[in-house]
Amino acid sequence: MYNKRRKRKSLSDLLTAASFICIYLRGSGVTFKVGQKVVYPNHGVTLVEKIEPGHIDGVEQMYFHLRLLANNSKVMVPKANLELVGLRPLCHTRDVRALFEILEDGNIDTYKDWKGRYKQNLDKMKTGRLTDVAEVLKNLRLVSQRKSLSFREKKMYERAKYFIVSEVAHVKGINEREAEELVERSLNSSLEKRLRAKVAS
């Protein structure tokens, strides 16, 4: 009799926890689910491994447990901070096509000084949008053709490139080396178009 009561209690606890998760997520408008690949700005593609309530500093919140696929490190993001950190679903195939159009178009923003350039690029990186990160990548690639990037800008360039490569690889179902070759080809095309336009003018 004791064991039966204990089993019923455990099942009840599980159902209550599951109901709590469903109600919490439905009310928040969040559509992420366990097993889904999502994009974490400045970190790249991550996997949602768990969504469950937890206590930190005595406060109960819903937490998204994420694994960064770049290095398998894990992070916990409170549901209340999802919008703040910019967590979003993987882009669609049509978005990847638009991305390569931007990378290849030859239009590259330039800035008068490195401080202004760094701030503008940093703000774009924080959005986590592919189009913004593409603009950062093109800008820093152009700068690197003229002079050596500073340590901070070199790191930003590497992050921007990996951010794009990793998402393109997952969306197109190819490996990262193939995705990187596509990105490199597009960047080179953009620089060539810009040079031709400059010579023509």
Strands 44-56, 59-68: pairing is: antiparallel
- Of residues 91, 38, 100, 103, the one with CA closest to residue 67: 38
- Report the half-sphere exposure of 188 (CA within 13 A, side-chain side): 6
Query: What total number of domains does the chain contain?
Result: 2
pLDDT digits (tens, 9 = 90+) for 30-46: 568 999 999 998 888 99
- Asked whether 164 and 181 are in contact (CB, 8 A), the reply is no
pLDDT digits (tens, 9 = 90+) for 53-87: 988 888 888 999 999 998 999 999 998 888 888 88
Q: Which of 73, 89, 105 is the endpoint of a domain?
A: 89
Residue 112 and residue 73 share a domain: no
Residue 160 and residue 180 share a domain: yes
pLDDT digits (tens, 9 = 90+) for 6-35: 343 343 343 333 333 333 333 445 568 999
Q: Output the domain CATH number for residue 60.
A: 2.40.10.170
Domain that holds residue 33: 2-89
Residue 188 and residue 130 share a domain: yes
123: left (phi over 0), alpha (psi -120 to 50) or beta: alpha
Could you give phi then psi for residue 23, rounded to 5 degrees? -65, -40
Could you give phi then psi for residue 33, rounded to 5 degrees? -140, 165
Whole-number Å distance between alpha carbons of 43 and 24: 26
